């Protein structure tokens, strides 16, 4: 089986005043093409470092990151990113915010085609009619929807998300999960989602990777067995409950509150 994203034995440390602080040590992740990989772990365990490595924004001290069978050493235009902060540009309309990556990746693309592509995406996430608004005129959930459109407007192979729904209230978050699920049905991309919400990881993920406490290594990999067109209700089945329970136990181990015997 070919893997679109492969992370092998990655180790990374940040320099601090009291010597290097290792954040990743022995991280292995493999995501097949088109799969959705959710990554959970205790806070401060290096999850955000992982996103920057996959995006090619930094290089690991040791180990390898591969995308599409190519070693990642620098940023590449086949990646899309979304963060907890939607980081929309306040001086641009929503439409022009979504178009931004195309200006970099496809400078020759006619404006008409860019607008058509952005409008189609905004329509998919329920933002049609808001193209001409400024980001400040939208609610937090709507801004995050626009941010997701911007992340995939250039049809990236890989979508990297660093807690994109973390700052939203619960109901808005569940709305966004369903938007994400519907987007995946229409737009083919492989996704890495960093989250601290176990229900989110089970609802969106094809696999859930639990990272250990710092320095993080791959501690546990859960295959989500729910159907692809799952609804929020699926989270309340026994099957989902068992998976959430397993993840909960793994997080406790990662936090060092329980011994590794549970595995």
Partner 1 sequence: MNGSLQKVAVPVIAIVVFLVLWEALVQLNGWPDYVMASPSDLPTAYANFWELFLIGSWQTLWRTIAGLALAVVVGVLIGMVMGFSRIMRDALYPLLVGFNAIPKATLVPVLALLFIGQHNFNTVMMAFLISFFPIAVSVGIGLSTLEPEYRDILRSLGASRVTIFRKIALPKTLPEFFGALKVAVTLAFIGTNLVEIVSPHGRGLGALFLSAQTNSNYPLMFAVLIALAVLGIALYYAVIFLERTFAGWAEQQST
When the beta carbons of 90 and 223 are compared against partner 1, the nearer one is 90
Q: Going by C-beta distance under 8 Å and a sequence separation of 6 or more, which residues neighbour residue 25?
A: 11, 215, 216, 217
Instruction: Give me the least distance between CB of 222 and partner 1, in Å please.
Output: 28
- Rounded distance, CA 151 to CA 77, Å? 11
Specify whether the CB–CB gap between 156 and 192 falls below 8 A: no
Q: Which stretch binds partner 1 (CB under 8 A): 9-17, 32-40, 69-77, 227-235?
A: 69-77
Total Cβ atoms within 10 A of residue 159:
23
Query: Should residue 140 be labelled a site residue for partner 1 when binding is judged by CB under 8 A?
Result: no
- Rounded distance, CA 244 to CA 165, Å? 19
Query: Should residue 105 be labelled a site residue for partner 1 when binding is judged by CB under 8 A?
Result: yes
Could you tell me which residues are beta bridge partners of residue 158? Answer: 79, 190
Q: Which stretch binds partner 1 (CB under 8 A): 29-37, 87-95, 185-193, 229-237?
A: 87-95
* Out of 3, 76, 155, 196, the residue judged to bind partner 1 by CB under 8 A: 76
Q: Which stretch binds partner 1 (CB under 8 A): 1-9, 80-88, 212-220, 250-258?
A: 80-88
Let me know if 141 is exposed, middle or buried by CB neighbors in 10 A (0-12, 13-18, 19+).
Answer: buried
Query: Should residue 74 be labelled a site residue for partner 1 when binding is judged by CB under 8 A?
Result: yes
Query: Should residue 90 be labelled a site residue for partner 1 when binding is judged by CB under 8 A?
Result: yes
**CA-based max dimension of the chain:** 59
Q: Summarize as ranges the residues that interact with partner 1 (CB under 8 A).
A: 52, 55-57, 74-77, 79-81, 83, 85, 87, 89-91, 100-101, 103-105, 134, 136, 150, 154, 160
């Amino acid at each position: 089986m070919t893997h679109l994203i492969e992370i092998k034995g990655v180790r990374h440390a940040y320099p601090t005043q009291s010597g290097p602080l290792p954040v990743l040590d022995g991280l292995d992740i493999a995501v097949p093409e088109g799969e959705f990989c959710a990554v959970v772990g205790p806070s401060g365990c290096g999850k955000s470092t992982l996103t920057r490595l996959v995006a090619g924004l930094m290089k690991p001290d040791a180990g390898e990151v591969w995308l599409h069978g190519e070693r990642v050493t620098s940023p590449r235009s086949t990646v899309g990113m979304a963060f907890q902060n939607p980081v929309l540009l306040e001086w641009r309309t929503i439409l022009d915010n979504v178009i931004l990556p195309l200006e970099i990746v496809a400078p020759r693309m006619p404006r008409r085609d860019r607008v058509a592509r952005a409008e189609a995406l905004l329509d998919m996430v329920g933002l049609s009619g808001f193209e001409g608004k400024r980001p400040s005129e939208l609610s937090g959930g709507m801004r995050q929807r626009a941010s997701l459109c911007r992340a995939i407007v250039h049809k990236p192979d890989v979508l990297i998300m660093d807690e994109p729904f973390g700052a939203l209230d619960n109901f808005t978050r569940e709305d966004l999960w369903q938007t994400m699920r519907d987007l995946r049905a229409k737009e083919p991309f492989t996704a890495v989602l960093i989250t601290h919400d176990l229900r989110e990881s089970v609802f969106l993920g094809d696999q859930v990777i639990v990272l250990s406490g710092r320095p993080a290594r791959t501690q546990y990999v859960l295959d989500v067995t729910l159907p692809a067109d799952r609804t929020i209700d699926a989270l309340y089945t026994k099957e989902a409950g068992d998976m959430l329970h397993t993840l909960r136990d793994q997080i406790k181990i990662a936090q060092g509150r329980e011994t590794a015997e549970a595995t």
